[in-house]
Amino acid sequence: MSGNYDEGETVRPEEPVIVRDRRKIDPETGELRSESIVEDAPRPEDGSGPPAGGEIVDDAVAPASDVEKELAERTADLQRVQAEYANYRKRVERDKVANTTAAKASVANELLPLLDDIERAEQHGDLNGAFKAVADKLVGTLQRTGLESFGNEGEPFDPSVHEAVQHSTSPDVSEPTVTTVLRRGYKFGDRVLRPAMVAVTDHEPEQGERPETLVDPADPAEPPARNN
């Protein structure tokens, strides 16, 4: 359009262009919105009002309090899941150790008769040469895995680890004492695989020694009978 115009021609001012954004998805956030208005109008001479490029008004912005509340809930859910997973891993590790220990103890328990044969051969002087080397290797391997033998002469009798098959009395002992070990006992860790088979000697009072009488303090002594 030429810059020259006739004096009689009326010049109309340019009207501002209004652009309405009717898209239901916000192109910047990707969230669903109910209504959006885009206004595009020339900036007035005083500089007030929206810029010429237009302004987008979004009425679907969620309140900040709701966003913070949802964030706190998601954070709590994540922390709970992490705690549950940590407890699960600890439980799996405990079960793994327990199962491994039980498997080792089961194998060691099956080898106890062989260890008895080795001990008897050693007592009779038949454990020598290559057989002794193999026996020592076997015993050492089982001990390193956790197998432990017990049951020695002279130790106090303990019914939790000793099986008494013979009893005798003697004034030389002050309490029930293991005097003979007929078969050694074995345990794996805290688990007793087999009690020791032993002979036990109890204390025998010497001549003139009065045996101790246990008196129950809850039972009052009966008064002596009165002679009429």
Instruction: Tell me whether residue 15 is in a domain.
Output: no
Query: Of all residues in the chain, what percent carry a pLDDT higher than 90?
Result: 50
Instruction: Tell me whether residue 8 is in a domain.
Output: no
Per-residue pLDDT of 53-80, as tens digits, reads 445 545 455 577 888 888 999 999 999 9
Pair (183, 156) in one structural domain: yes
Per-residue pLDDT of 180-214, as tens digits, reads 999 999 999 889 999 999 999 998 877 655 555 44
How many domains are contained in the chain?
A: 4
Compare 174 and 5 and report the one with higher pLDDT: 174
**Given pLDDT bands bounded at 50, 70 and 90, which one contains residue 19?**
low
Per-residue pLDDT of 125-149, as tens digits, reads 888 889 999 999 999 999 999 999 9
Pair (77, 117) in one structural domain: no
Instruction: Tell me whether residue 139 is in a domain.
Output: yes
Instruction: Tell me whether residue 227 is in a domain.
Output: no
Can you give the three-state secondary structure of the chain, one letter per residue? CCCCCCCCCCCCCCCCCCCCCCCCECCCCCCECCCEEEECCCCCCCCCCCCCCCEEEECCCCCHHHHHHHHHHHHHHHHHHHHHHHHHHHHHHHHHHHHHHHHHHHHHHHCHHHHHHHHHHHHCCCCCHHHHHHHHHHHHHHHHHCEEEECCCCCECCCCCEEEEEEEEECCCCCCEEEEEEECEEEECCEEEECEEEEEEEECCCCCCCCCCCCCCCCCCCCCCCCC
**Which of 96, 123, 145 corresponds to the end of one domain?**
145
Range of the domain at 140: 111-145
pTM metric for this prediction: 0.54
For residue 68, the model assigns a pLDDT of 87
For residue 228, the model assigns a pLDDT of 46
